[in-house]
A = this chain, B = another copy of it.
Amino acid sequence: MSFYNKMTKTELENEKIKLKKKYENFKQMNLKLNMSRGKPSTEQLELSSGMLNNITCDDLSKTEDGFETRNYGMLSGIPEAKKFFANILDVTPDMIIVGENSSLSLMYNCVHIAMQFGILGNKPWKDIENVKFLCPAPGYDRHFAICEIFGIEMISIPMDENGPDMDKVKMLAESDPLVKGIWCVPKYSNPTGITYSDEVVRKFAALKPAAQDFRIFWDNAYVVHHLSKKHDELLNIFDVCKDYGSEDMVLEFTSTSKITFPGGGISAIATSEKNVQSILEIMSIQTICNDKINQLRHCLFFSTSQKLDSHMQAHASIIKPKFDLVLEKLEEKIKPFGIGSWTNPNGGYFISFNSMNGCGKRIGELCKQAGVVLTNVGATYPYGIDPYNRNIRIAPTFPPIKELSIAMDVFCVCVKIASIEKLLREYE
Protein backbone atom coordinates (compact mmCIF):
# COMPACT_ATOMS: atom_id res chain seq x y z
CA MET A 1 0.00 0.00 0.00
CA SER A 2 1.18 3.47 -0.78
CA PHE A 3 -0.21 6.95 -1.17
CA TYR A 4 -2.30 7.21 -4.31
CA ASN A 5 -0.44 10.30 -5.43
CA LYS A 6 2.76 8.23 -5.49
CA MET A 7 1.24 5.60 -7.79
CA THR A 8 1.77 5.36 -11.51
CA LYS A 9 -1.12 5.69 -13.92
CA THR A 10 -1.24 1.92 -14.47
CA GLU A 11 -1.19 1.19 -10.76
CA LEU A 12 -4.08 3.60 -10.30
CA GLU A 13 -6.02 2.03 -13.14
CA ASN A 14 -5.58 -1.45 -11.69
CA GLU A 15 -6.59 -0.24 -8.26
CA LYS A 16 -9.65 1.38 -9.75
CA ILE A 17 -10.75 -1.88 -11.42
CA LYS A 18 -10.52 -3.71 -8.08
CA LEU A 19 -12.44 -0.97 -6.28
CA LYS A 20 -15.15 -0.85 -8.91
CA LYS A 21 -15.76 -4.56 -8.37
CA LYS A 22 -16.17 -4.02 -4.64
CA TYR A 23 -18.43 -1.06 -5.35
CA GLU A 24 -20.63 -3.11 -7.70
CA ASN A 25 -20.95 -5.76 -5.01
CA PHE A 26 -22.16 -3.14 -2.56
CA LYS A 27 -24.65 -1.88 -5.09
CA GLN A 28 -26.12 -5.33 -5.49
CA MET A 29 -26.85 -5.40 -1.78
CA ASN A 30 -29.56 -2.74 -2.28
CA LEU A 31 -28.45 -0.93 0.84
CA LYS A 32 -30.50 1.79 2.46
CA LEU A 33 -28.20 3.44 4.94
CA ASN A 34 -28.25 6.96 6.27
CA MET A 35 -25.40 8.93 7.80
CA SER A 36 -26.85 12.31 6.87
CA ARG A 37 -28.38 13.88 9.96
CA GLY A 38 -27.38 14.24 13.59
CA LYS A 39 -30.15 12.05 14.93
CA PRO A 40 -30.00 10.04 18.13
CA SER A 41 -30.50 6.30 17.71
CA THR A 42 -33.54 4.48 19.02
CA GLU A 43 -31.41 3.06 21.82
CA GLN A 44 -30.64 6.61 22.92
CA LEU A 45 -34.31 7.56 22.85
CA GLU A 46 -35.04 4.76 25.30
CA LEU A 47 -32.83 6.49 27.87
CA SER A 48 -35.52 9.12 28.37
CA SER A 49 -38.48 6.76 28.63
CA GLY A 50 -38.78 7.59 32.30
CA MET A 51 -39.73 11.12 31.33
CA LEU A 52 -42.86 10.10 29.47
CA ASN A 53 -44.98 9.30 32.51
CA ASN A 54 -43.23 11.07 35.34
CA ILE A 55 -45.68 13.78 36.23
CA THR A 56 -48.73 14.09 38.44
CA CYS A 57 -51.35 16.77 38.87
CA ASP A 58 -49.81 17.57 42.22
CA ASP A 59 -46.48 18.33 40.60
CA LEU A 60 -48.19 20.53 38.09
CA SER A 61 -50.52 22.44 40.30
CA LYS A 62 -47.72 24.29 42.00
CA THR A 63 -44.39 25.28 40.58
CA GLU A 64 -41.72 26.76 42.81
CA ASP A 65 -43.42 30.13 42.83
CA GLY A 66 -46.87 28.65 43.32
CA PHE A 67 -47.95 28.98 39.73
CA GLU A 68 -50.33 26.54 38.05
CA THR A 69 -48.23 24.91 35.33
CA ARG A 70 -51.25 23.55 33.52
CA ASN A 71 -52.79 26.91 32.79
CA TYR A 72 -51.79 29.98 30.75
CA GLY A 73 -48.95 32.20 31.89
CA MET A 74 -45.22 32.33 32.63
CA LEU A 75 -44.13 33.36 29.18
CA SER A 76 -40.43 33.11 29.98
CA GLY A 77 -40.73 29.63 31.49
CA ILE A 78 -41.24 28.07 34.92
CA PRO A 79 -38.55 28.88 37.52
CA GLU A 80 -37.38 25.25 37.62
CA ALA A 81 -36.72 25.22 33.87
CA LYS A 82 -34.89 28.52 33.98
CA LYS A 83 -32.64 27.12 36.69
CA PHE A 84 -32.13 23.92 34.72
CA PHE A 85 -30.83 25.81 31.69
CA ALA A 86 -28.98 28.36 33.82
CA ASN A 87 -27.03 25.47 35.38
CA ILE A 88 -26.24 23.93 32.03
CA LEU A 89 -25.11 27.21 30.50
CA ASP A 90 -23.53 28.60 33.67
CA VAL A 91 -25.57 31.81 33.66
CA THR A 92 -28.19 33.23 36.02
CA PRO A 93 -31.87 32.19 35.67
CA ASP A 94 -32.95 35.75 34.85
CA MET A 95 -30.87 35.48 31.68
CA ILE A 96 -33.00 32.57 30.45
CA ILE A 97 -36.07 32.40 28.26
CA VAL A 98 -37.37 28.85 27.93
CA GLY A 99 -38.74 28.12 24.48
CA GLU A 100 -40.69 25.32 22.85
CA ASN A 101 -38.91 22.21 21.60
CA SER A 102 -36.62 23.84 19.09
CA SER A 103 -33.60 26.08 19.61
CA LEU A 104 -33.55 26.51 15.83
CA SER A 105 -36.91 28.24 15.99
CA LEU A 106 -35.60 30.51 18.76
CA MET A 107 -32.70 31.48 16.48
CA TYR A 108 -35.05 32.03 13.56
CA ASN A 109 -37.22 34.15 15.81
CA CYS A 110 -34.29 36.32 16.88
CA VAL A 111 -33.38 36.94 13.24
CA HIS A 112 -37.04 37.64 12.45
CA ILE A 113 -37.31 40.11 15.34
CA ALA A 114 -34.19 41.94 14.15
CA MET A 115 -35.53 41.95 10.59
CA GLN A 116 -39.04 43.11 11.34
CA PHE A 117 -38.73 45.25 14.45
CA GLY A 118 -35.03 45.98 14.90
CA ILE A 119 -32.88 45.18 17.90
CA LEU A 120 -33.12 47.48 20.94
CA GLY A 121 -34.31 50.47 18.95
CA ASN A 122 -31.99 49.99 15.99
CA LYS A 123 -33.29 50.13 12.42
CA PRO A 124 -35.11 46.93 11.38
CA TRP A 125 -32.86 44.93 9.08
CA LYS A 126 -35.62 44.76 6.48
CA ASP A 127 -35.06 48.48 5.94
CA ILE A 128 -31.34 48.04 5.37
CA GLU A 129 -30.02 46.90 2.05
CA ASN A 130 -27.59 44.04 2.04
CA VAL A 131 -27.40 42.90 5.64
CA LYS A 132 -24.51 40.46 6.07
CA PHE A 133 -23.69 37.61 8.43
CA LEU A 134 -20.36 35.99 9.07
CA CYS A 135 -20.50 32.23 8.68
CA PRO A 136 -17.63 30.19 10.04
CA ALA A 137 -17.43 27.26 7.64
CA PRO A 138 -17.73 24.37 7.54
CA GLY A 139 -20.77 25.03 9.71
CA TYR A 140 -24.39 24.08 10.30
CA ASP A 141 -26.55 24.08 7.20
CA ARG A 142 -29.71 25.11 9.04
CA HIS A 143 -28.03 28.31 10.25
CA PHE A 144 -27.14 29.16 6.69
CA ALA A 145 -30.69 28.37 5.54
CA ILE A 146 -32.06 31.04 7.89
CA CYS A 147 -29.75 33.63 6.35
CA GLU A 148 -30.66 32.50 2.88
CA ILE A 149 -34.42 32.74 3.35
CA PHE A 150 -34.12 36.24 4.82
CA GLY A 151 -31.83 37.33 2.00
CA ILE A 152 -28.92 37.94 4.37
CA GLU A 153 -25.58 37.84 2.56
CA MET A 154 -23.28 35.18 3.99
CA ILE A 155 -19.53 35.65 4.25
CA SER A 156 -17.56 32.46 4.86
CA ILE A 157 -15.00 32.57 7.65
CA PRO A 158 -12.34 29.86 7.70
CA MET A 159 -12.27 27.55 10.73
CA ASP A 160 -9.31 25.85 12.33
CA GLU A 161 -8.94 23.69 15.42
CA ASN A 162 -9.33 26.77 17.66
CA GLY A 163 -12.46 28.15 16.05
CA PRO A 164 -13.11 30.82 13.42
CA ASP A 165 -10.34 33.00 12.02
CA MET A 166 -10.76 35.85 14.51
CA ASP A 167 -8.60 38.31 12.59
CA LYS A 168 -11.03 38.07 9.74
CA VAL A 169 -14.06 38.20 12.05
CA LYS A 170 -12.71 41.30 13.80
CA MET A 171 -11.75 43.02 10.59
CA LEU A 172 -15.16 42.46 8.97
CA ALA A 173 -17.34 43.06 12.04
CA GLU A 174 -15.49 46.17 13.12
CA SER A 175 -15.24 47.81 9.70
CA ASP A 176 -18.60 47.08 8.09
CA PRO A 177 -21.83 48.25 9.76
CA LEU A 178 -23.78 45.97 7.42
CA VAL A 179 -22.25 42.95 9.14
CA LYS A 180 -24.96 42.24 11.70
CA GLY A 181 -24.19 38.82 13.06
CA ILE A 182 -22.22 35.61 13.16
CA TRP A 183 -23.24 31.97 13.59
CA CYS A 184 -21.19 29.95 16.03
CA VAL A 185 -21.38 26.41 17.38
CA PRO A 186 -18.67 27.02 19.95
CA LYS A 187 -18.50 23.59 21.57
CA TYR A 188 -18.09 20.30 19.71
CA SER A 189 -18.78 22.38 16.63
CA ASN A 190 -21.07 21.21 13.85
CA PRO A 191 -19.46 19.59 11.88
CA THR A 192 -15.79 19.80 12.89
CA GLY A 193 -16.25 18.80 16.53
CA ILE A 194 -13.72 21.35 17.75
CA THR A 195 -14.30 23.63 20.73
CA TYR A 196 -13.42 27.31 20.51
CA SER A 197 -10.21 28.12 22.39
CA ASP A 198 -10.23 30.55 25.31
CA GLU A 199 -8.44 33.06 23.14
CA VAL A 200 -11.10 32.85 20.45
CA VAL A 201 -13.89 33.30 23.01
CA ARG A 202 -12.06 36.29 24.49
CA LYS A 203 -11.69 37.85 21.05
CA PHE A 204 -15.43 37.42 20.51
CA ALA A 205 -16.25 39.15 23.78
CA ALA A 206 -13.82 41.94 22.93
CA LEU A 207 -15.31 42.70 19.52
CA LYS A 208 -16.33 46.31 18.91
CA PRO A 209 -18.57 45.82 15.90
CA ALA A 210 -19.34 48.72 13.61
CA ALA A 211 -23.02 47.78 13.89
CA GLN A 212 -24.55 48.46 17.32
CA ASP A 213 -27.00 45.66 16.67
CA PHE A 214 -24.35 43.07 15.78
CA ARG A 215 -25.26 39.79 17.45
CA ILE A 216 -23.26 36.62 18.09
CA PHE A 217 -25.57 33.62 17.63
CA TRP A 218 -23.85 31.29 20.09
CA ASP A 219 -25.49 27.95 19.37
CA ASN A 220 -24.31 25.85 22.28
CA ALA A 221 -26.19 22.78 21.04
CA TYR A 222 -23.66 20.27 22.35
CA VAL A 223 -22.82 21.85 25.68
CA VAL A 224 -23.15 18.60 27.69
CA HIS A 225 -22.70 16.17 24.81
CA HIS A 226 -19.34 14.66 25.67
CA LEU A 227 -18.19 11.44 24.07
CA SER A 228 -15.86 10.32 26.84
CA LYS A 229 -14.45 11.50 30.12
CA LYS A 230 -12.11 13.76 28.20
CA HIS A 231 -14.31 16.86 28.06
CA ASP A 232 -13.56 20.00 26.14
CA GLU A 233 -13.98 23.12 28.22
CA LEU A 234 -15.55 26.19 26.65
CA LEU A 235 -14.89 29.52 28.29
CA ASN A 236 -18.14 31.16 29.45
CA ILE A 237 -18.53 34.00 26.98
CA PHE A 238 -20.83 36.01 29.26
CA ASP A 239 -18.16 36.04 31.96
CA VAL A 240 -15.66 37.52 29.55
CA CYS A 241 -18.24 39.91 28.10
CA LYS A 242 -18.55 41.51 31.55
CA ASP A 243 -14.99 42.79 31.17
CA TYR A 244 -15.96 44.54 27.96
CA GLY A 245 -19.58 45.48 28.75
CA SER A 246 -20.57 43.49 25.69
CA GLU A 247 -23.20 41.14 27.17
CA ASP A 248 -25.92 42.48 24.88
CA MET A 249 -23.93 41.21 21.89
CA VAL A 250 -24.43 37.52 22.70
CA LEU A 251 -27.51 35.36 22.12
CA GLU A 252 -26.80 31.87 23.42
CA PHE A 253 -29.02 28.94 22.49
CA THR A 254 -29.35 25.36 23.55
CA SER A 255 -31.94 22.59 23.78
CA THR A 256 -32.54 19.11 25.10
CA SER A 257 -33.22 17.74 21.61
CA LYS A 258 -30.23 15.42 21.87
CA ILE A 259 -30.55 14.96 25.62
CA THR A 260 -34.14 13.71 25.76
CA PHE A 261 -36.24 13.65 22.59
CA PRO A 262 -35.59 15.43 19.30
CA GLY A 263 -38.81 17.30 18.71
CA GLY A 264 -40.02 16.50 22.21
CA GLY A 265 -37.49 18.44 24.21
CA ILE A 266 -37.28 22.00 25.49
CA SER A 267 -35.02 24.84 24.39
CA ALA A 268 -33.65 28.10 25.75
CA ILE A 269 -32.09 31.43 24.97
CA ALA A 270 -29.57 32.89 27.40
CA THR A 271 -28.79 36.55 27.01
CA SER A 272 -28.51 39.90 28.78
CA GLU A 273 -31.44 41.19 30.78
CA LYS A 274 -31.97 43.94 28.24
CA ASN A 275 -32.22 41.44 25.39
CA VAL A 276 -34.44 39.14 27.46
CA GLN A 277 -36.90 41.98 28.04
CA SER A 278 -37.03 43.04 24.42
CA ILE A 279 -37.46 39.47 23.15
CA LEU A 280 -40.24 38.79 25.67
CA GLU A 281 -42.01 41.93 24.51
CA ILE A 282 -42.38 40.44 21.03
CA MET A 283 -42.96 36.91 22.32
CA SER A 284 -45.92 38.20 24.33
CA ILE A 285 -47.61 38.98 21.01
CA GLN A 286 -46.53 35.70 19.40
CA THR A 287 -47.90 33.34 22.02
CA ILE A 288 -49.48 33.24 25.45
CA CYS A 289 -46.90 30.85 26.87
CA ASN A 290 -44.78 27.87 25.95
CA ASP A 291 -45.37 24.26 27.01
CA LYS A 292 -44.70 24.40 30.74
CA ILE A 293 -45.83 20.82 31.33
CA ASN A 294 -42.95 19.56 29.21
CA GLN A 295 -40.67 21.99 31.03
CA LEU A 296 -41.64 20.50 34.39
CA ARG A 297 -41.35 16.97 33.00
CA HIS A 298 -37.73 17.70 32.14
CA CYS A 299 -37.00 19.30 35.49
CA LEU A 300 -38.46 16.36 37.41
CA PHE A 301 -36.48 13.92 35.28
CA PHE A 302 -33.24 15.85 35.78
CA SER A 303 -33.84 16.76 39.39
CA THR A 304 -30.11 16.95 40.06
CA SER A 305 -27.19 17.80 37.85
CA GLN A 306 -25.76 14.36 38.66
CA LYS A 307 -28.77 12.82 36.94
CA LEU A 308 -28.03 14.84 33.84
CA ASP A 309 -24.37 13.85 33.96
CA SER A 310 -25.06 10.15 34.19
CA HIS A 311 -27.73 10.46 31.51
CA MET A 312 -25.21 12.03 29.15
CA GLN A 313 -22.69 9.31 30.02
CA ALA A 314 -25.30 6.75 29.04
CA HIS A 315 -25.69 8.53 25.70
CA ALA A 316 -21.93 8.52 25.25
CA SER A 317 -21.65 4.84 25.98
CA ILE A 318 -24.06 4.19 23.11
CA ILE A 319 -22.55 6.52 20.54
CA LYS A 320 -18.85 6.49 21.39
CA PRO A 321 -18.40 3.00 19.85
CA LYS A 322 -19.96 4.37 16.67
CA PHE A 323 -17.55 7.27 16.50
CA ASP A 324 -14.70 4.83 17.22
CA LEU A 325 -15.85 2.57 14.42
CA VAL A 326 -15.90 5.43 11.91
CA LEU A 327 -12.46 6.54 13.00
CA GLU A 328 -11.07 2.98 12.82
CA LYS A 329 -12.44 2.52 9.32
CA LEU A 330 -10.91 5.80 8.20
CA GLU A 331 -7.58 4.93 9.83
CA GLU A 332 -7.55 1.53 8.22
CA LYS A 333 -8.94 2.27 4.77
CA ILE A 334 -8.19 5.88 4.00
CA LYS A 335 -5.11 6.91 5.94
CA PRO A 336 -2.65 4.57 4.17
CA PHE A 337 -3.55 6.17 0.82
CA GLY A 338 -3.21 9.83 1.83
CA ILE A 339 -6.56 10.75 0.37
CA GLY A 340 -8.35 12.44 3.24
CA SER A 341 -8.23 13.99 6.67
CA TRP A 342 -10.81 14.03 9.45
CA THR A 343 -11.57 15.20 12.94
CA ASN A 344 -11.55 13.17 16.15
CA PRO A 345 -13.93 15.06 18.43
CA ASN A 346 -14.43 14.74 22.19
CA GLY A 347 -18.14 15.37 21.85
CA GLY A 348 -21.00 16.41 19.62
CA TYR A 349 -22.60 14.52 16.79
CA PHE A 350 -20.25 14.62 13.82
CA ILE A 351 -17.00 13.68 12.26
CA SER A 352 -15.92 16.11 9.60
CA PHE A 353 -14.15 14.50 6.67
CA ASN A 354 -12.12 16.33 4.05
CA SER A 355 -11.38 14.43 0.87
CA MET A 356 -8.78 15.52 -1.67
CA ASN A 357 -9.90 18.83 -3.12
CA GLY A 358 -12.54 18.48 -5.79
CA CYS A 359 -13.75 15.01 -4.81
CA GLY A 360 -16.58 15.78 -2.38
CA LYS A 361 -19.56 15.82 -4.68
CA ARG A 362 -18.40 12.74 -6.56
CA ILE A 363 -18.10 10.82 -3.27
CA GLY A 364 -21.61 11.85 -2.31
CA GLU A 365 -22.88 10.72 -5.70
CA LEU A 366 -21.14 7.35 -5.54
CA CYS A 367 -22.43 6.75 -2.00
CA LYS A 368 -25.95 7.66 -2.99
CA GLN A 369 -25.92 5.28 -5.93
CA ALA A 370 -24.83 2.53 -3.57
CA GLY A 371 -27.63 3.31 -1.11
CA VAL A 372 -25.66 5.32 1.46
CA VAL A 373 -27.05 8.79 2.13
CA LEU A 374 -24.63 11.46 3.36
CA THR A 375 -25.36 15.08 4.28
CA ASN A 376 -25.48 16.90 0.95
CA VAL A 377 -21.90 17.62 0.07
CA GLY A 378 -21.46 21.39 0.22
CA ALA A 379 -24.25 21.84 2.79
CA THR A 380 -21.68 22.69 5.44
CA TYR A 381 -20.86 25.88 3.53
CA PRO A 382 -22.93 29.02 2.85
CA TYR A 383 -25.09 28.68 -0.26
CA GLY A 384 -24.18 24.96 -0.30
CA ILE A 385 -20.91 25.77 -2.04
CA ASP A 386 -17.79 24.24 -0.59
CA PRO A 387 -15.01 26.15 -2.37
CA TYR A 388 -12.76 23.09 -2.14
CA ASN A 389 -15.51 20.59 -2.86
CA ARG A 390 -14.16 18.28 -0.17
CA ASN A 391 -16.03 18.57 3.14
CA ILE A 392 -18.32 15.72 4.13
CA ARG A 393 -20.17 15.63 7.43
CA ILE A 394 -20.40 12.11 8.81
CA ALA A 395 -23.21 11.56 11.31
CA PRO A 396 -22.57 8.19 12.97
CA THR A 397 -25.13 8.23 15.78
CA PHE A 398 -28.34 7.05 14.13
CA PRO A 399 -27.57 3.78 12.32
CA PRO A 400 -27.12 0.55 14.29
CA ILE A 401 -23.43 -0.31 14.50
CA LYS A 402 -23.61 -3.13 11.95
CA GLU A 403 -25.20 -0.86 9.39
CA LEU A 404 -22.75 1.89 10.17
CA SER A 405 -19.90 -0.53 9.54
CA ILE A 406 -21.19 -1.39 6.08
CA ALA A 407 -21.96 2.24 5.36
CA MET A 408 -18.39 3.18 6.22
CA ASP A 409 -17.02 0.38 4.02
CA VAL A 410 -19.06 1.78 1.15
CA PHE A 411 -17.98 5.30 2.01
CA CYS A 412 -14.29 4.38 2.02
CA VAL A 413 -14.53 2.63 -1.34
CA CYS A 414 -16.29 5.69 -2.76
CA VAL A 415 -13.60 8.00 -1.40
CA LYS A 416 -10.96 5.83 -3.02
CA ILE A 417 -12.70 5.67 -6.39
CA ALA A 418 -13.32 9.43 -6.47
CA SER A 419 -9.70 10.08 -5.51
CA ILE A 420 -8.33 7.80 -8.22
CA GLU A 421 -10.66 9.33 -10.79
CA LYS A 422 -9.29 12.73 -9.86
CA LEU A 423 -5.68 11.59 -10.08
CA LEU A 424 -6.30 9.88 -13.41
CA ARG A 425 -7.87 13.05 -14.80
CA GLU A 426 -4.54 14.71 -14.25
CA TYR A 427 -3.05 12.34 -16.85
CA GLU A 428 -5.63 13.37 -19.44
Q: Which A positions have Cβ atoms within 8 angstroms of B?
A: 37, 39-40, 42, 45-46, 48-49, 52-57, 60-61, 68-73, 100-102, 104-105, 108, 112, 115-117, 126, 142, 145-146, 149-150, 257, 261-264, 282, 285-294
Closest B residue to A117 by CB, please name it: B149
**Given A287-B108, A291-B291, are A70 and B261 also a contact pair (CB < 8 Å)?**
yes
Interface SS of A by simple majority: loop
22 A-B pairs within 8 Å (CB atoms) are namely A42-B61, A42-B71, A45-B57, A48-B70, A53-B53, A70-B261, A70-B264, A73-B263, A101-B289, A101-B291, A102-B287, A102-B289, A104-B288, A108-B285, A108-B286, A108-B287, A112-B116, A142-B285, A149-B285, A261-B293, A263-B293, A264-B291
Give CA–CA (A102, B261) in the complex, Å. Answer: 20
CB distance from A237 to the nearest CB of B (A): 25
Partner of A72, one of B39, B46, B55: B39
CB distance from A185 to the nearest CB of B (A): 16
Within 8 Å CB of A263, what residues of B?
70-73, 288-293
How many copies of this chain does the complex contain? 2
Give CA–CA (A37, B294) in the complex, Å. Answer: 23
Within 8 Å CB of A57, what residues of B?
45-46, 49, 52
Which 7 pairs between the two chains have the least Cβ-Cβ distance?
A: A53-B53, A264-B293, A105-B287, A102-B287, A72-B262, A263-B289, A45-B70
CB distance from A316 to the nearest CB of B (A): 19
Question: In this complex, which of A60, A292, A293 has the most chain B Cβ atoms within 10 angstroms of its Cβ?
Answer: A293
Partner of A116, one of B60, B61, B101, B150: B150
Give CA–CA (A346, B408) in the complex, Å. Answer: 64
Partner of A71, one of B40, B105, B108, B112: B40
